[in-house]
Structure 1
């Protein structure tokens, strides 16, 4: 399915509330980006004294890097990154375009703060853009003009749900979202996801839940059994559903915190 190509906005003004912390800007700070405010940095630094939140976030980002490489190795050159936040240092488009300059990346987020920052960052990039939409509305996402300008859904696409599924609070929502995108993508496509869990380090994850509440964006960790139900029927690439830090991590330098590495599951599925 190819949509009609339309021009993207030429100019975008940044916006955002500098008086309270924002989850997208917090992630940006923890990942070494520059799109954050003093209020975000203050909360990040205070939280970092209590638990290894930066290591938790960087561990998921490491999984993302490995998955992008796997996608490119399998011939996939189109990426749809759901709940992307601010595409800060080391995000999908930077990694993918280094591997193959023909890659195209569409980020999706419903937070106006994240979208405004992203549009400013990507305004001169012809290979990447962002859509302001709720990822639960799959039809709206895939038919958005920005999406249609870069992605051909008759060809394989990599759909990323990395770090975002815990923000879907209803019990069956992650599975519904996965199923919705599965129906819209071509054979040979890949779905990559991570999900926060309390299976191994419940006290550590409880602290992350408290931090998320301070940004007014609550999160819901889930068990491995729950996540297995969300991906039931999908063909998972080896090694299946495992801790994200362990997914095809051969030769990678271990994380700074073993506990932080045990807080998220990750997997990649191929659509047949």
Structure 2
């Protein structure tokens, strides 16, 4: 029964978590009844959402691998979510063991997992912080102790900015990180799109209203503004399942246009 579920300290079992909903869609085990209800509501009108979630993970892994191959050795993963293999540090260090990674998420469940997963792992750290407060993240001693902002860094905002409302200034959040990024740095973003089906948008908004998991569906023009000051590389801003760079064979998960559309892009600092 849902009432018998083990609830981690500091977690309200009546409030859905975007990290736990995503974990459920990816086939994980770290979610509560409220998270499963949100996910199943979305799946009822957008049954291919599990595949979109997997495509989003493949986009993240592909972007990290490419950037590591280009010599980037520092990664800040904002809105990490519950650890799913391959994680950013696994992908990056598969290219170079010298890669350093900071994971950032506000969810206490993510923090608990990170403490276990990253224990005694030099060069990789996790902090509990809110992407809406970029100055707190940039000033955190774990970040300043691990990331050298005089060298190129990849800032990953994969599946996180659609949880930032317009009045919370997503462009300002991006700009705060951009100000600290050295030449050769990159920005990676994926985001739910206004081109999703009306049914999927309506159901997700209804299921997550007034919770931390509520989402904003932005159009291409709005998303392109988040890349101001960056030059898009590879295929540009495209659905995550279509993003590919280099000669690596693309894994096609989706046939046709999904109900829930998520676009992704990688920008190089101009």
Normalised-by-shorter TM-score class: 0.7 to 0.9
Q: Among 208, 229, 234, which residue is 1:238 paired with? A: 234
**Residue of structure 2 in register with 1:6 after alignment:** none
**Residue of structure 2 in register with 1:51 after alignment:** 46
Unaligned runs of 5+ in 2: 1-7
Q: Is residue 84–residue 109 contact of structure 1 (8 Å, CA) maintained in 2?
A: yes
**Residue of structure 2 in register with 1:111 after alignment:** 107
Structural mapping, 1:116-127, within 5 Å: 116-127=112-123
State the Cα deviation string for residues 59-103 of structure 1 (Å, max 9, x = none).
Answer: 211110110111111100110011112222222122212222221
Q: Among 92, 98, 101, which residue is 1:102 paired with? A: 98
Residue 35 of structure 1 deviates from its aligned partner by 3.0
**Residue of structure 2 in register with 1:167 after alignment:** 163
Work out whether 1:28 is the aligned partner of 2:34: no
Residue 176 of structure 1 deviates from its aligned partner by 1.2
Structural mapping, 1:34-183, within 5 Å: 34-37=29-32, 40-41=35-36, 44=39, 47-52=42-47, 53-170=49-166, 173-183=169-179
**Residue of structure 2 in register with 1:15 after alignment:** 9
Provide the C-alpha distance between the structure 1 equivalents of 2:22 and 2:125, rounded to a whole number of angstroms. Answer: 19
Residue 231 of structure 1 deviates from its aligned partner by 1.7
**Residue of structure 1 in register with 2:258 after alignment:** 260
Structural mapping, 1:190-209, within 5 Å: 190-209=186-205
**Residue of structure 2 in register with 1:9 after alignment:** none
State the Cα deviation string for residues 216-249 of structure 1 (Å, max 9, x = none).
Answer: 5211010001112222332111322222221217
Residue 158 of structure 1 deviates from its aligned partner by 0.4
State the Cα deviation string for residues 110-164 of structure 1 (Å, max 9, x = none).
Answer: 2223223322322232232111222233232122121123211111110001100
- Say which SS state the counterpart of residue 150 (structure 2) adopts: coil
Provide the C-alpha distance between the structure 1 equivalents of 2:36 and 2:166, rounded to a whole number of angstroms. Answer: 30
Matched residue pairs, number? 259
TM-score, normalised by the number of residues in structure 1: 0.84
Q: Is residue 197–residue 259 contact of structure 2 (8 Å, CA) maintained in 1?
A: no
State the Cα deviation string for residues 239-265 of structure 1 (Å, max 9, x = none).
Answer: 222222212177322114533386012
Structural mapping, 1:190-229, within 5 Å: 190-213=186-209, 216-229=212-225
**Residue of structure 2 in register with 1:4 after alignment:** none
Provide the C-alpha distance between the structure 2 equivalents of 1:210 and 1:90, rounded to a whole number of angstroms. Answer: 32
Q: Is residue 31–residue 89 contact of structure 1 (8 Å, CA) maintained in 2?
A: no
- Say which SS state the counterpart of residue 46 (structure 2) adopts: coil
- Say which SS state the counterpart of residue 146 (structure 2) adopts: coil
The CA RMSD measured in Å over matched residues stands at 2.5
Q: Is residue 85–residue 114 contact of structure 1 (8 Å, CA) maintained in 2?
A: yes
- Say which SS state the counterpart of residue 56 (structure 1) adopts: helix
Provide the C-alpha distance between the structure 1 equivalents of 2:107 and 2:143, rounded to a whole number of angstroms. Answer: 17
